[in-house]
Amino acid sequence: MRIFQIGFNNCGTTALNHLFQASGIMSLHGTGRYWREKGHPAVQGRNVQLAIHRNISAGRPAVYGFDDFRAFFGMEFSQGGLQIENFRRFALLAEEYPSAKFILNTRDTDRWLQDRIDRQGGRYLQWAMDRTGMSLKGVLNLWADDFHRHHDMVREHFRADPDRLMEFDVDSGSVKDLIKFARSANMRLSSRHWKRARVSDHWQIPDRFRAA
């Protein structure tokens, strides 16, 4: 059984991965750097998200080649003009892995936007503005609309099979509920490993974007 995180970045993906990893669950986060540095053969010389994207494009099972891993977090990769967002393929993942469970990690939209503004010291926002040709306000509106649309699509997809999905607010959700959900996928988590990670201390627009 596997668990896939299918919410956005800046919604506790690092903290969720830490909870699972520290609890002894083999989990992959983002490009797989942690396990690459540990020398795991499945990720040597590979970008995990790019590999998953290529598996899907080639008609192979999405996480083909990553059989050792049971949980997947931070399922996206952006660099230059390349943007891979494997978390959006939740419908395909649900079909290919009928015993898998899914976590829709979420949080207050405004706080999420504030954290995204500060992501990578503002470079993530600047990249989005350059890519779309939009102003700061335009990008923030685009992100907010996308956030709500994705949540609605996930909820609708799992409406007929609600036991496969947990919507977890990373700021206010109960880790006990998350532990119970993971147990339904035969994964035992320890609450002592739950902590917020990479939370912005700024909560403001970087100066170079204020006039945008």
Asked if residue 201 is part of any domain, the answer here is no
Asked if residue 29 is part of any domain, the answer here is yes
Q: What is the pLDDT of residues 80-107, one digit of tens each?
A: 778 899 999 999 999 999 999 999 999 9
Length of the chain: 212
Asked if residue 186 is part of any domain, the answer here is yes
Q: Domain total for the chain?
A: 1
200 pLDDT above the threshold of 80 = no
Q: Which domain holds residue 36?
A: 3-107+154-195
d(CA 70, CA 42): 13
Asked if residue 204 is part of any domain, the answer here is no
Asked if residue 203 is part of any domain, the answer here is no
d(CA 121, CA 39): 30
Q: What is the pLDDT of residues 119-177, one digit of tens each?
A: 888 888 988 898 899 999 999 999 999 999 999 999 999 999 999 999 999 999 999 99
d(CA 98, CA 119): 34
Q: What is the pLDDT of residues 27-74, one digit of tens each?
A: 999 999 999 999 999 999 999 999 999 999 999 999 999 999 999 999
| CB burial string 139-155: b at 16+ within 10 A, e below | bbeebeeebeebbeebe
| CB burial string 98-121: b at 16+ within 10 A, e below | eebbbbbbbbeeeebbbbbbbbee
Asked if residue 148 is part of any domain, the answer here is no
* Dihedral sign from CA coordinates of 136, 139, 144, 145: positive
197 pLDDT above the threshold of 90 = no
211 pLDDT above the threshold of 90 = no
Asked if residue 202 is part of any domain, the answer here is no
